[in-house]
Chain A
Amino acid sequence: MKLKPETTEKIDKLVPRYPVKRSAALPLCHLVQEDQGYLSNEAVEWIAERLELEPINIQELVTFYPMLRTEPTGKYHVRVCRTLPCALAGAYQTCRKLEEALDVAVGHTSEDGLATLEFVECHADCGKAPVVMVGEDEYTGIDVEKALEMAEKMKSGTLPTGLEVHTEA
């Protein structure tokens, strides 16, 4: 598996900071997922070997933690908060609008690969509900109208994917 040099550098710096190597498992899953877009079997095996663990020790994390994924997302990874405070502010309507505008069912990636739409649990910004995340960027107060605007911007490619910032940092 080929990782970007900056990922390898981050991993090499991170692992020795932990008193026990295995503690670096979740951080490594994040770093490799950010590098590759998702965690393939090969990635799972690579992380396990790097930490002197068995692949199952990593696989059980991948299947437990909702943010770890085994498939790539579309260009835009859209996560709408579903939980009660957002729902009281209209999150279900927001999500249905995004489904319709992006022509994608919740939990799936659109056929053209433009967007993956997920309905997820609380993002902890309930005072500005409904909350939508695109990649690592947060958008607040997304009612049906704003959802439509966001979808249009995704289609025209003018909305940031929310991954740019991270690459810079």
Chain B
Amino acid sequence: MKHVDEPGYSNDIDCYIRNGGYEDLKKAFAMKPEDICAEVMESGVRGRGGAGFPAGMKWKFLDRKSGKPIYLVCNADESEPGTFKDRQIIHQDPHQLIEGMICSAYAVGAKLAFIYIRGEFFEGYRILERAIEEARAKNFLGDNILGSDYSCDIIVHRGAGAYICGEETGLIESLEGNRANPRIKPPYFPAALGLYQCPTIVNNVETLCDVKHVVSMGGAEFAKIGTPGNTGTRTWCVSGHVMKPGFYEFACADLTLGELIYDVCGGLRPGRSLKAVIPGGSSAKVLRADERFTGKLKNGTAFDWGIGDIPMDFDSLMACGSMSGSGGVIVMDDSTDIVEALANINYFYAHESCGQCTPCREGVPWMRKITARMVAGEAREEDADLLNSIADQIAGRTICAFGEAASWPVQSFIAKFKDEFVEKAREQAARRKEGKDAAKETVLI
């Protein structure tokens, strides 16, 4: 997003072209599709949606021999709490996404592509519709693009408020006109059996934009940004208790979590200290401010970090037992009631479970009910263990990763802050003894 902060930069096609836009598309068309795929592989770019799976590898799995049409789908369902990067790209630089998509569609051999955009992005939808019309008018889209024999169209498809549509097979179900119940893998790997049972590539907005830059600079050059295995830039979305929340783009591992919070985001509110950080969207495991993180990185290097020392990249956060996920960094200061924060998160996941798998459909609402009861004045000392036992029975027992997404917050909040869950019950008992209302007024639920 190098241009978006420049004065006068607008999201129309003329401005985009004035700044070198669609030159990479011309470059892509001078290349063979398989060469673009090879460059993407060499770039090492990893999916920006949450899982961090290498995009080149995902493309390599594509079944090109089936004889069926191939589809490209852009996942713009951005709904992981704490994440708002795709919104910025769509609003401020939609043509970058469209150019990245056409390059990608050409590379994977798709003649029809979709942008699945979350329903709440009303304005984003209109911006994309207009941008696609502009691109079509200039023959960057449509039949025989730029005089080549390659034709491609993009359909913008609106979701309708369901978080599970961000899961790629759920998204495909939704795109087919069904409830977004995720599909079981195997056999339904989208690269083989995706949309309409055809080979399909589903990539995040930011990932598809990266493809444009891979075409522009070549895979080897792209791989020089960041560190080996953590290439390119990432847009960190910072929310919660910092002075300057917002989105900030940096090369992977270019800064630490501490630098992001204190230097970039202006630190915490006056008089407050850091309590916890959820580093990759609300599903990511929480980090406690006073923890020490020790271990060995993938490359064998030993590390010993405080929370502020953690380099912001895929592998470092994973080595600390969490993940960079979708890049949503939620910061909580010492005013935060941890049980309330978990109660809030549980409410979200209970609301968003698609209801297909029993452990998730039943278990996640149980977790919500328990934390709701705890903040309502009926906390019990054994609740932490009870919550954990439910979470342990959900994770790994569902069709899609939602089971983990809903369990990890519970497991990590309890692992890191068990004392506060127990204290909640004791505190309420003491208040009751004094004849006071056991429940305190809540802030987060």
Contact = CB atoms under 8 A, between A and B. Distances in A.
A25 B78 CA distance: 21
B352 interface: yes
Among A64, A68, A89, the one with the most B-chain Cβ atoms within 10 Å of its Cβ is: A64
Given A87-B445, A133-B120, A124 B341 contact: no
Nearest to A24: B177
Interface string A124-142: 1111110001001010000
Contacts of A61: 160, 177-179
Interface in B94-122: 112, 118-122
Given A66-B162, A84-B81, A127-B238, A23 B442 contact: no
A160 to B, nearest CB: 13
A21 to B, nearest CB: 8
B443 A122 contact: no
B345 interface: yes
Contacts of B163: 121-122
Contacts of A92: 442-445
A60 interface: yes
Interface string B221-253: 000000000000000011111000111000000
B206 to A, nearest CB: 13
A4 interface: no
- Max chain B C-beta neighbours (<10 A), residue from A17, A68, A121, A129: A121
Contacts of B443: 87, 90, 92-93
B121 A124 contact: yes
Interface residues of A, number: 47
Interface residues of B, number: 61
A113 interface: no
A65 B84 contact: no
Given A88-B241, A123-B120, A169-B126, A30 B158 contact: yes
A46 to B, nearest CB: 15
Nearest to A88: B240
B180 A64 contact: yes
Interface in A63-107: 64-68, 82-85, 87-90, 92-93
Contacts of B174: 26
Given A66-B160, A123-B120, A128 B245 contact: yes
8 contacts: A23-B176, A30-B160, A67-B120, A84-B341, A84-B345, A87-B344, A87-B444, A89-B239
Interface of A: 17-20, 22-27, 29-30, 51, 53, 57, 60-61, 64-68, 82-85, 87-90, 92-93, 120-129, 133, 136, 138, 166, 169
Given A67-B160, A92-B445, A122-B79, 5 more contacts: A20-B176, A27-B157, A61-B179, A92-B442, A121-B351
Closest 3 CB pairs of A and B: A65-B160, A25-B177, A85-B239
